[in-house]
Each structure stands twice: as structure tokens, then as C-alpha cells.
Chain A
Amino acid sequence: MTPSIVPNFGSESTDRKLAIICSKGNLDMAYPGLILANAALGEGVETMLFFTFWGFDMITKSRMNDLQFSPAGNTAMHLPGHNMHIPQAMMPAPGMTAVATHMLKKQIADLDVPEVPDFLDQIVAAGGHLWACRMSADMNKLEMNDLRDDVEGIISASDFIEMTEGAQLLFI
């Protein structure tokens, strides 16, 4: 018989930090940052998300429920379960974005992965921090009360760089 084996869950005081910059507002590109943030938090890693440019839509109350997915310009888009492409020339057809968005949302829901606002709720519940970009807020004429209530502040790029000292960084 082998002596006791106890999994190494790491020390309670890991100082690993992850900063994720979310710069895209398309439905498909909102998810990578959220999935990685959620995974990092589940591993005990302190995680900060910074929303900038198009990524601002993910935290803007009036837009966060309506992120869309367009197959236009995405040559890796296939019909689910097939290798077949839809010709790019057909992608700008009326209704194509709505259909593709609906299909993608269904595929994501089938995996029991939450919609973007719910996912951010879960990330905050797990201890994640949300920050908004000052320049994007100014360009879009948005203020704190236009954003999710759990956004901790609108800050400049240099503030974000300063507060994420020592963190690993992802730009999405």
C-alpha cells in the first residue's frame, strides 16, 4: 500500500495575478476572456478585467444583452457539425447576423455556459474585478451609471497598468 497522497491545491496565498483586456464586442469574442477569467478564479488566481473599445459593450447596461455574432469575414465559420462553408458573398445577406447570433447563443446555452451578463455576475461572485477604460467611456459619452453596478471604476490605461503590476496579461 502506498503512503497517503494528498492533492496539491497550492498555497492559500498564491500571488499569481491575471489581467485580461477585453477589447471586442462581438458575441463570439466576448467569451474567451470570460472563460479564462472564470477558470483563473477557480484556480485561486486574482483576476482583473479591463474593458476597452468594443469590449465596452460587454459592461454597458443598454447593450450587454444584445451582443451579436456576424459570420462575415470569418472564414472559419462552418455549419455546426459540418465541414461545409457558407460562401462569404452570402454573409452580408439581410438576417444573416440574427440567424448566426441565434445559433451561437443556442450552442453556448447547450453547454450550460451562461450568457454574457450572467457570466460576469458569476465572475464577480468568484472574486473577479471589473474595470472600464476612461478613453472608451469618453468616446461613447458613457458614465458609471451607464455601466454594470459591479464595475469598480472608470480608469485610465496607465492606472490599469499600475494596478496590474506583476500580473500576467492577456489582450483579447
Chain B
Amino acid sequence: MPVIRIAEKPVNVNEEGFMTQYDEWNEEIAKELAAQIEIPLTEEHWKIIKFLREDFKVQGETATSRRVQTVGGVPVKEQFALFPKKPAKKMAYIAGLPKPKGCV
């Protein structure tokens, strides 16, 4: 698996560029990842990113859009507004987590 430099740190990623080591992530890295896919991070973005980080720690897998709505409390419509077109994947990418596996 490739190692790339993000926010001055070496970071393990998969062949698509998603981070593979939960503990390598920090907020500086998140800002740089977000900038790379042209998403300016606001408080609302951080709320979702922090939920995804916490939820992954407990569940061992990345929350789907559905779960971000029902458990994280951010409606699907808002997720699409914050992370246009492909919210589930973009949220996971910035949070340094794998793509969600669930279908819904």
C-alpha cells in the first residue's frame, strides 16, 4: 500500500487515496484532504466528520448516509448540500476512514 505525505506527515493510503490507519488521522490532515476535493470545512462539516470518527471507533465500520442521519442527526438532504454529489464517500475520505460497506 502507498505512503504519501499529507500535512507534513507520512500517511498510509489505499490505491484510491483513502487512509488505511485510523490513528494517523488528525484535523490538519482532514483540512488538507478536504481542500484536495474542494470542500471548504465549516462547523457543520466538522460535526459529521467527528461523528464518523467516533462511530467508527465503536462500530468498526464507516457509517452510511442513513446512519449519519438516524444516529448522527444530520439529515440526508443536508449531507448532500455539504458534500455534493457523493456525500458518503467524501465524508469517509475526509474523516480518514474506509468507504462505507453498507448498501443503504
> A interface vs B, CB < 8 Å?
1-10, 12, 14, 35, 38-39, 42-44, 111-114, 119, 122, 125-127
Q: Given contacts A1-B5, A114-B66, A122-B66, is CB(A44)–CB(B76) below 8 Å? A: no
B70 touches A112 (CB 8 A): yes
Q: Which among A1, A10, A42 is the interface contact of B4 at CB below 8 angstroms?
A: A1
Q: Which among B2, B15, B17, B104 is the interface contact of A114 at CB below 8 angstroms?
A: B104
Q: Given contacts A7-B16, A9-B85, is CB(A122)–CB(B69) below 8 Å? A: yes
Cα of A112 to Cα of B102 in the assembled complex, Å: 10
B13 touches A5 (CB 8 A): yes
Cα of A122 to Cα of B76 in the assembled complex, Å: 7
Closest to B17 in A: A5
Decide if the interface of chain A is mainly helix, strand, loop or mixed. Answer: loop
Chain B residues touching A, range: 20 to 34
Least CB distance from A40 to B in Å reads 11
> B interface vs A, CB < 8 Å?
2-6, 10, 13, 15-18, 36-37, 64-67, 69-70, 75-77, 80, 84-90, 93, 102-104
Least CB distance from B90 to A in Å reads 6
Q: Choose among A7, A14, A44 the residue with the greatest number of B CB atoms under 10 Å from its CB.
A: A7
A5 touches B104 (CB 8 A): no
Tell me which residues across on chain B come within 8 A of A9, comparing CB atoms: 37, 85-86, 89-90
Tell me which residues across on chain A come within 8 A of B77, comparing CB atoms: 125-126
* A–B Cβ pairs within 8 angstroms, 21 of them: A1-B10, A2-B3, A2-B4, A4-B4, A5-B4, A5-B16, A5-B17, A6-B36, A7-B17, A9-B37, A9-B89, A10-B85, A10-B86, A42-B88, A44-B86, A112-B66, A113-B104, A114-B104, A119-B104, A125-B75, A126-B77
